[in-house]
Amino acid sequence: MPKLNIVKIGGAIIEQKEKLLSFLKDFTGIKGPKVLVHGGGKRATAWAEKLGIPVQMKDGRRVTNLDTLELITALYAGQVNKSIVAHLQGLGCNALGLSGADADSIKAVKRPVGSINYGFVGDVTWVNNDWFNQIFKQNIIPVYCAITHDGNGQLLNTNADTITAEIGKSLAKDFEIKLNYCFELPGVMKDIEDSSSLIKKINKQSYQNLLLTNTISQGMIPKLQNAFDALDGGVSEVAIGNSKMINRATPYTSITLR
């Protein structure tokens, strides 16, 4: 099967123009078909304050009311997405910026109201493989913001890590998938202060040992569970590390089933 790289970048890299441009240059160097998924950046909070949109938090998580959804659609699908697309075009990479509503490519269902009502937040239910395959045939590189739709006219806010994993699991029917989660650290570390403590390989068995010995910080556990969920869904490898890992010889954490 042909290889496909899916790369997720978060807010920190988007905030700094030079870092973003350097990353995008590395990204264009990845051979073969690839997908970029991006988060939002911190501007949403600053703009919400100025526009008088109250930020509602429940259990430490932002609630997406209609005003917030409009704001993040503006910032993520508009400003951040199109800026990335224009820069990639400038680097000779034929990028196409998308939300899940575009070409009905990623469908989600509004999260049911349980003990917490998260508002207009979507859980992915379907990824349009035909669309991705058509686009790859034209050598076009999809750039996704973390917004999906319900198929009935409603946009939904969806976690960028989750979108990355869901695209990967669905396209695993057609490709050998590597997910690349870029963040500030070199990868999963025994000691955040010590870069030599990077764990270069984790599989399902060693993950259990790391959990039993309390070697991993609490913050990394959801990321690793998300990674194993993707691997169980057919993804071949999950890489967690600094954005430089995608096209340079820098070490990172490689997560596989065995």
Q: Which residues bind a second copy (CB under 8 A)?
A: 47, 50-52, 70, 73-79, 81-83, 85-87, 89-91, 94-99, 101-104, 134, 138, 140, 147, 149, 151-155
Which has the closest alpha carbon to 136: 5, 25, 9, 234? 5
* In the complex, minimum distance from the CB of residue 224 to a second copy, in angstroms, rounded to a whole number: 32
* In the complex, minimum distance from the CB of residue 134 to a second copy, in angstroms, rounded to a whole number: 6
Which has the closest alpha carbon to 106: 65, 71, 156? 156
**What is the C-alpha to C-alpha distance for residues 83 and 98, in angstroms, rounded to an integer?**
12
* In the complex, minimum distance from the CB of residue 69 to a second copy, in angstroms, rounded to a whole number: 9
Nearer to a second copy, 69 or 172 (CB): 69
Burial group, residue 93, by CB count within 10 angstroms (0-12, 13-18, 19+)? buried
> What angle, rounded to 10 degrees, do the helices at 160-171 and 220-232 form?
20
Nearer to a second copy, 79 or 159 (CB): 79
Nearer to a second copy, 78 or 233 (CB): 78
* In the complex, minimum distance from the CB of residue 141 to a second copy, in angstroms, rounded to a whole number: 9
**What is the C-alpha to C-alpha distance for residues 63 and 78, in angstroms, rounded to an integer?**
21
Nearer to a second copy, 40 or 241 (CB): 40
Nearer to a second copy, 119 or 241 (CB): 119
Nearer to a second copy, 76 or 252 (CB): 76
Can you say whether the dihedral through the CA atoms of 203, 205, 206, 210 is positive or negative?
Answer: positive
- Structural contact between residues 85 and 140, judged by C-beta atoms closer than 8 angstroms: no
Residue 187 per-residue DSSP state: S
Report how far Cα 42 is from the mean position of its chain's Cα atoms.
16
* In the complex, minimum distance from the CB of residue 1 to a second copy, in angstroms, rounded to a whole number: 23
**What is the C-alpha to C-alpha distance for residues 193 and 130, in angstroms, rounded to an integer?**
45
* In the complex, minimum distance from the CB of residue 238 to a second copy, in angstroms, rounded to a whole number: 28
